[in-house]
Structure 1
Amino acid sequence: MFDLDLLSILLPALVAGILVLSTHVVMGQQVLKRGIIFIDLAIAQVAALGAIVAHLNQYIEAMPFANVWMPALFAISGASFIAWLSKRMADELEAIIGCFYVLAAVAAMLLLSNDPHGAEMLKQLMSGQILWVSWSQLALPAVIYAAILIVLAIKPHILARRGFYLIFAIVITLSVELVGVYLVFSSLILPALAVNHYRGRFKLCWAYTVGLVGYVAGLLLSAKFDLPSGAAIVATLAISAIVFRFILVVKSRYQLPLLR
């Protein structure tokens, strides 16, 4: 049994994961459909670069909500650039996005190379510190994610247009702040990949289930065995996705009435 102190840490972390999944599962399916798998890593890394620039400039860092609007500005600029490229260099877009990610990562390392706390900040941005998320940090993402989900419910076709890039940049910015770059990528791609070949009526529901199982299992394992929470959740998300894909293979091979 977990004591109340541990539960007080795990519960906001789980809610943070649910908030991230609420938008990332939908966006991840669109990423797979567009064939731009590395866009989430690239935009997440660009948002992290914005956070680093804000951290290194004391005047920007002192401004209200600089930890939100500065990464958002970088992410929206990066997403707009990729949207512009998608119309002009579609055949090379994935390669360019990969280069974009590498350049943003290198820029982050160079900017933090002389910062005494640079290594720790870089680790936090990449791996995240989901176990230390507070309830107050969840308020803004919850409101914005809810607004985005309402917009998508009313106008689902907006993701098939240029609006996808703007929504994607906003979602990624908030998520990097909560869970880090690695979990952002995993939350987007792994649930979407798990259900990619599923043709049943509840595709979205199963994708959310894969993600939720991964987060719950990862948090429990990290708490029980004192493991890095972000890394543990990435691993359990991957296992959850693999298990679901295996179930789909068994269902197809033996014509079992599963996951209808």
Structure 2
Amino acid sequence: MLEILLPALVAGLAIAVTHAPLGLEVLRRGIIFIDLAIAQIAGLGLVVMELYWPGAAGWMLQAVALGCALGASLLFHWTERRLPAQQEALIGSSFVLAASLALLLLADHPHGGEAIQHLLSGQLLFVGWNELGLALPVYGLVLLAWFARPRWRGGMGFYLLFALAVTASVQLAGVYVVFASLILPALAAAAWPGRALAVAWTSAAVAILAGLMAALWYDWPAGPVLVVSYALVALLATVPRWRRTRPAPSARAR
């Protein structure tokens, strides 16, 4: 069991640590669906490779997925400057378009359903050390740039770092987990002003630990279990905020 859990746990915690600050920035900017869109566009690149270059080396898959994600990031950076009022609608439309193209490409593929499931839900419990060897340096680079060069978080720098992180994560965990790991810890942190990053990191780590253990124990698919785990932990983290903001009972009429 440990040989399965350990690489999955390392991958999940790496995703949690890297995505938490990115998710806080996504929430601050109000571009909630950018993670879904970029992850799906990177996944579309992987689908094309699966169809036309099966058995390609891992670094080639990473390169194609990264190229697609960077192209999407450049597009969204352009819309932020030129079409800010329509940006969220364009981001959502890009997600739907990329998802539809992936479905069309895999419609006649003998393993199309399995490929779509892998793209959306991932296979985190089956991640090996070879995949981690490609992904961990990317996460390290993103975190180093994020905290050592804060000014890179604005403008194009944010989109490039975001594309790097999402490209690595979508191959390990799938589109759904990428979205959950970015948005739900950020929502949990909103209940704790002044400690946002610490709360986001903590809630993400707890969700990963609980989700992977439940998936392994009950033999459930890891992707959906992790999304539910992220949601439950975020919900629990917001309970103190509900208590603080609950209106006091009205005074009795004399």
TM-score normalised to structure 1 length:
0.91
Q: CA deviation at 1:157?
A: 2.4
Structure 1 moving runs of 4+ over 3 Å: 60-64, 251-254
Q: How does 1:1-260 map to 2 (within 5 A)?
A: 6-58=1-53, 62=56, 65-200=59-194, 202-251=195-244
Q: CA deviation at 1:73?
A: 0.7
Q: Distance in 2 between matches of 1:65 and 1:130?
A: 18
SS of 1:241's equivalent in the other structure is: helix
Q: Distance in 1 between matches of 2:77 and 2:184?
A: 23
Q: CA deviation at 1:118?
A: 1.1
Q: Distance in 1 between matches of 2:115 and 2:182?
A: 23
Report the counterpart of residue 3 of structure 1 in structure 2: none
Q: CA deviation at 1:10?
A: 1.1
* Aligned-pair identity (%): 41
Number of residue pairs matched? 247
Preserved contact between residue 61 and residue 67 of structure 1 (Cα < 8 Å)? no
Q: CA deviation at 1:74?
A: 0.7
Q: Distance in 2 between matches of 1:54 and 1:173?
A: 14
Q: CA deviation at 1:160?
A: 2.0
Preserved contact between residue 72 and residue 173 of structure 1 (Cα < 8 Å)? yes
Q: Distance in 2 between matches of 1:73 and 1:161?
A: 19
Q: CA deviation at 1:116?
A: 0.5
The root-mean-square deviation of aligned C-alpha atoms, in Å, is: 1.6
**Structure 2: any 5+ residue segments left out of the alignment?**
248-254
**Structure 1: any 5+ residue segments left out of the alignment?**
1-5, 255-260
Preserved contact between residue 127 and residue 181 of structure 1 (Cα < 8 Å)? yes
SS of 2:82's equivalent in the other structure is: coil
Q: Distance in 1 between matches of 2:69 and 2:56?
A: 20
Q: Distance in 2 between matches of 1:181 and 1:63?
A: 21
Q: Distance in 1 between matches of 2:156 and 2:49?
A: 28
Q: Distance in 2 between matches of 1:51 and 1:211?
A: 26
Distance 1:62 1:244, change over 3 A: closer
Give the AA of the match of 2:222. Answer: S
